[in-house]
Every structure is written in C-alpha cells, then in structure tokens.
Structure 1
Amino acid sequence: MNRRSFLTTTSLAVGAAAFGLPKIASAADPLKVGFIYVGPIGDMGWSYQHDQGRLAMEKEFGDKIVTSYVESVPEGPDAERVLTQLALEGNQLIFATSFGYMDATANVAAKFPNVKFEHATGYKRADNLATYDARFYEGRAIQGTIAGRMTKTNKIGYIGSFPIPEVIQGINAAYIHAKKVNPAVEIKVVWAYSWFDPAKEADAAAALIAEGVDVLLQHTDSTAPQAKAQEAGIYTFGQASDMAAFAPKPRISSTIDNWAPYYIKRAGAMLDGSWASEATWGGIGTGMVGIGEITSEVPAEVKAEAEAMIAAIGSGEYHPFTGPLNKQDGSVWLAEGEKADDGTLAGLNFFVEGITAEMPS
C-alpha cells in the first residue's frame, strides 16, 4: 500500500468513526464476523449451539477471521440497536440468531448495504440479507415416535415458546408421530411466551406434570424443564443441544442443532468473494438437525424404529407431513400420500386434527 492510499484509508476510517459510519477494513485485515444471541451462551440450548458454531468457525479459519457476539439481546428495539453497533464496529458479516430479530435485521441491512447479514429462522431477504433455518420438525417426528411408545399415561407434554410456524410445526409433527404408534395418545401444550426463562419453563413443566404427562418435550432453551422432569421421574428430551449432563435419567434422547458447517460455509464464501443472498432450510439429511444418543431407557425395538425413521427422513424417502392429514377443525389439509410443501410449512398457523389445545391469537 502506498503512502497516499494509506492516508486516504486512515482519513476515511477516522471520518467514519466521527460520523457514525462503518469502519473501513483493508484487504489485509481479517474478516470481522458478529453474532447476536437471544439468550446467554450458557443456556445449554439454542444460543449455546449457535455459539458452538461460532467457535467452530474461528477454529476453521484461524487468524483470517475475528468474531464477536452480544448475548441475551431482547427481540425488538434493543436488537436493532445492537445490530447497528455491530455494523458500525466494522463487522462485515453479521448473524442474527432469533426469529424476532427479523424486522430489526431487515431495517439495519437496508442502512448498511455493504455489510452482509444472515437471519436465522426468518423469511425476509435482500441483496445483503440471507436467511437460514433448520427443519426442526424432522427431529420432533422422531421424538413423537419415541414418546408415543414410551408413555404409560398416554399423555405427552409440550412446552411452546411462541405460536410461530417453526414451533407449530414441531407440536404437530410430535403429535402426528406419537399418534401413529399409539392411537390413544394425547398432547398437552403450555406456552411460556419466552425463548429463555428458566422460571417460566419450570412452571410450564410443573403444570404439564400436574396434568399427568409422563413424557415432556420443549421448544424453549433452558434446562429447567429437564430438572423438573427428573424430579418427577418422567421422560424428557434435550432441546437444541444434547443436555445430557443435566438430566441423565430418565432422559430419552435429544434434538441437536448443528450450525457449525453452515457458519463455516458462509464465512468461507465471504473470504472467497462468493457470498450471495439465499434461503437455506436444512434438516437431518444435511446434518443441520441431529438426533442425540437414544439412551438405554428406550427399548431396543423402539430405538430401531426411531433409527429407521431417521434414515428414511434423512434420505428423503419419508416426509413427516404426509397425508392423509386434517386440520384441527376436521377439514382436509393433505390428501392420501400428499406432502406438505415448504411454503405451507413456513407459514403454518394451525394444529392438526386430534390436538385439543387452542391456538393462541
């Protein structure tokens, strides 16, 4: 770099800082990558798994990248403020890792067209804004199969976070597959209206246990439901990460979100100049959704049944939403052999027939 270009770059960087513009990186600088998390990285669930992906990215690229994160950022105005600050700090690639960050991410991306943004689980895109998601419902189908076989009371419980499509997909998938193996099964749903709130999650678990459920699933991020389940001696599943250390018995298995390969791929695309806005929705087949160890609590024949379904979903041979399926009101949703398309699933806002819980407005 000659003296003129150095001075120009330095002057621009000083000016950028003075006027609230993004810092300018030179070609020799490492790629700066920022992350924003809805929970603490110690939640051992959702945010923990995203941070494991960040660490894997650092390990993969070494001094070619520098990463940073802000944890426990509420969805709403705080998210927009934090995303703006990450852009002003010179991050060239920013990952926003919760559904409720969608509008904030879209707003900030429009203000910083030279920064690349990635939003997890959302659907709004732009030239500099990509989306990525995992087919969590595939893991819920496995959980439902195991839960339907393992319940003795024929009541399984589900702690929901918010009534958004990804959560509704999971409740439906779990119930459909529990019902297939156990026609007498029913599902009880309690909403926590939070992604991470151990006290609310513990209360939700206690309420479900009081209703007689003996298998508990969750789409919330703390290990509090695991502790409640262990106290009550009922079966439970790890959520987003394995959570094995928190409820070794009578834990059954877990769904595991594996973000590392995606984060490595997208940082690599930034480094080689091939990054483009796209929508990614991976599942068991791509490795984005994993199934943790199916423990010895599960009989061998049930484990074999679950493993066969994992293989069938992973290969594309079986789709968890295959008709005949009706909506909760009894109207036809999917005819015999018909599979739900991605557009329908991305906007799913109803329960299937047989679920008696009311959909919150």
Structure 2
Amino acid sequence: MLSNTLKRRPLKAVLCAVAAAIALGSSLAASAADPLKVGFVYIGPIGDHGWTYQHEQGRQALIKEMGDKITTNYVENVAEGADAERVIRNMAKDKYDLIFTTSFGYMNPTLKVAKQFPKVTFEHATGYKQDKNMGTYLARTYEGRYVGGYLAAKMTKTKKVGYVASFPIPEVIRDINAIQLALNKYNPGTEMKVVWVNSWFDPGKEADAANALIDQGVDVVFQHTDSPAPIQAAERRGVYAVGYASDMAHFGPKAVLTSIVNNWGPHYIQATQSVIDGTWKSQDYWGGLKEGTVQLPISDLVPADVKAEAQKLIADIESGALHPFTGPIKDQNGVEKLASGVTASNAELASMNYYIEGMTAKLPQ
C-alpha cells in the first residue's frame, strides 16, 4: 500500500503541474490580447478648431492605425494645476497604460503623478521635465513661424505685424522671436506688436486682442491661442492673418496666408506602438517640418514668386540647410545670445526667456 501511494503522488503532482501550466498559459494569452489603454488630457474643448482639435485629430489617427490593439479616452477642458493633477491621477488609477497630457501647465502635475505610478507611461506636450516613465514631445512650430514671418514681411504694407499671445512661456516667446528674425531679414524695420490675453482659449478676448492690434495699424495678425477668433477678426477687418495649430483658411479665406499646422498623429502612433512593443524609452521628442509634425499650407493669396521662395525656405529647413535660430543673434538689449554660425540647442530653445533684437515690445514680468 505504501509503495502504491508513493507511485501515485508524483502522478498527481505532474497532473497538477500540467493543469497549472494550462491555466497560466490561458491567463498569459488573455493578458497578451488585452488592448493597450491610452488616455488624453486636453486643455480646451475638442471643437476649439485649434490646439485641442489637432490633438484630437491625432487621437483619431491613432485609433484608425491601431484598431483593436488599443482603447482610448479623453478628458477635455481640464484647467492647468490641481484639476489637471486630479484628472491625470484618476486615469492612472483606472489602469491606463499610456497617458498623453497636452498643455505646458500640465508638466508638474504629470511629473508628480508619474512618480506615484511607475508602471504607467506618461508623455507630456511642450514641457522640459522627464523621468524614467515620462517623456516629452513638442512641435518645432518656430520653423513654421519663421516662414510665416517671411510671408508677413512680403505682404505687409504698414510694416506692422501683430501677435495675439497666450502666456509668456518659452514656446510662445520662441515663436515670436522666429517671426521677428524673418522680419529683420526680409523687411527690416517692421515692428511686431504683442497683446497677451493670458488664456489659451477665450474667443472673446482673442477677438478683442486682434481688433486692438488692427486698430494700431497691424495688417498681418498671428496668434498663439486656440480659437479661430483672431482669424475671423482679420477677415472682417480686411487684413491678413496666419493661423495656428490647425488649418484655419476656411475661417478667413480672404485673410489667411498660411497656418502653422500641428500634425500629432505620427508621434502618437509611434509612441503607442513602442509601449506595445516594450521598446518605449523616455525622450525629449522635437518634430518639425522634416518629420511632418509641422505642416504649412500656403494660400493662393500669396503671389507666386513669394510662395516659391517660401517653399524654398521650407525645403531648406527640412534639409537642415537653414535653422532660424543660428547666430549672430542678440537680445533686444544688444546682448549676444548666439555667436555667428552657432545654432541654438534644444535646451536653449526650450528655455528661451528673452526677446531678440528688433522687438520693441517688452516681456511681461
């Protein structure tokens, strides 16, 4: 009897092991088939026709590309600060695998939550802080701004260009400077006036700012805000405009020379695929004209010879033959910031906190 018992126990152990292996295999197969859960946090409404609208178009491109490999969701109109931290943390708690946070003011809340949820991957747009599980990404919109500045230099009759600005953060200052660099080169003495609205999305304030600029003689209006209100004001007032984030030509068919369009889809697809593949690494991604992250549709309002030169500038930027922020560059007080032939690093671009030579406006303190 004893020997029979000893013979049975290994058999039972083997059967148990086989059953456990089958169960484990089924569990792993189910786990492998689970779609990646991807979340997006938006500063404005998806119908703003600008910044948030383009991020939403990027999410839609991601869905189309990845199919049932992923599930996605978003929260819109999330204020920077405590609200952002709450929304981001709730997504992490809800088992999202990858979370994109899409405004500069989300940087510190994203970093804080990333440290608390090390198994979740985070990507933050336009910031400069990274961690093991948090990367950053942004568009080199200054490339488009430089070309837009060239168009403004050629199209202005008053030698006054306006900028409806949101907040004095490096991204906005960098873009203003890029326009002024082009103005300095292609129409020296052209002045750029700036009105700060201290909001990303406030159509009323944006329209008021555009009208105030036009009242001061501005005949080309740029914007670094999210609604088409400045474009619509320019259309009504009979001046030119340059759109931002999305192609705004349909809001001002007689006004819009070009738009600096952000195309986020390729980055969202690449980043999501790398998380699925297990190859994601924290990085500071900058995408520009070359990568297709920035696109620049030029209107037929622009004369053929001017359009041809703008397209040459685009080609030179894409090839690396032209970098707008190449010295000599001085700030508006005459202090050298970049020596002759020196190109600004990403770190220098990401921390830009000064106006360049030619700017007569003063930065808010």
Bin for the TM-score computed over the shorter chain: over 0.9
Segment of structure 1 superposing worse, 183-192 or 335-344: 335-344
Which residue identity is paired with 1:91? Y
Which residue, out of 137, 151, 156, partners 2:142? 137
- Per the TM alignment, residue 285 of structure 1 is displaced from its structure 2 partner at its CA by 1.2
Deviations for 1:99-150, whole angstroms, at most 9, x for unmatched residues? 0000000011111111000001111111110111111110100000000100
Aligned to 1:333, the other structure's residue is in SS state strand
User: What percent identity do the matched residue pairs reach?
Assistant: 56
Give the length in aligned residue pairs: 343
Aligned to 1:239, the other structure's residue is in SS state strand
Aligned to 1:62, the other structure's residue is in SS state helix
Residue number in structure 2 paired with 1:310: 314
Residues in 2 aligned to 1:277 and 1:218: alpha-carbon distance in whole angstroms:
31
Residue number in structure 1 paired with 2:9: none
Contact 1:128 1:277 in 2 (8 A): yes
Residue number in structure 1 paired with 2:12: none
Which residue identity is paired with 1:48? Y
Residues in 2 aligned to 1:244 and 1:124: alpha-carbon distance in whole angstroms:
35
Aligned to 2:33, the other structure's residue is in SS state coil
Structure 2 counterparts to residues 38-117 of structure 1, below 5 A: 38-117=43-122
Which residue, out of 101, 122, 137, partners 2:127? 122
Which residue identity is paired with 2:112? N
Residue number in structure 1 paired with 2:346: 342
1:295 aligned onto 2:302: no
Structure 2 counterparts to residues 261-280 of structure 1, below 5 A: 261-280=266-285
Residue number in structure 1 paired with 2:212: 207
Which residue identity is paired with 2:329? L
5+ residue gaps, structure 1, are: 10-24
Aligned to 1:158, the other structure's residue is in SS state strand
What is the root-mean-square deviation of aligned Cα atoms in Å? 1.6
Structure 1 runs (4+) greater than 4 angstroms displaced: 1-6
- TM-score by length of structure 2 reads 0.91
Which residue identity is paired with 2:354? F
Residue number in structure 2 paired with 1:14: none
Which residue, out of 320, 327, 331, partners 1:327? 331
Contact 1:120 1:131 in 2 (8 A): yes
1:360 aligned onto 2:364: yes
Which residue identity is paired with 2:363? M
Contact 2:41 2:76 in 1 (8 A): yes
Residue number in structure 2 paired with 1:190: 195
5+ residue gaps, structure 2, are: 1-18
- Per the TM alignment, residue 216 of structure 1 is displaced from its structure 2 partner at its CA by 0.4
Q: Which has the larger radius of gyration?
A: 2
- Per the TM alignment, residue 317 of structure 1 is displaced from its structure 2 partner at its CA by 0.6
- TM-score by length of structure 1 reads 0.92
Deviations for 1:299-353, whole angstroms, at most 9, x for unmatched residues? 1111111111000011111110122221110112222222222221111000001
Contact 1:146 1:178 in 2 (8 A): no
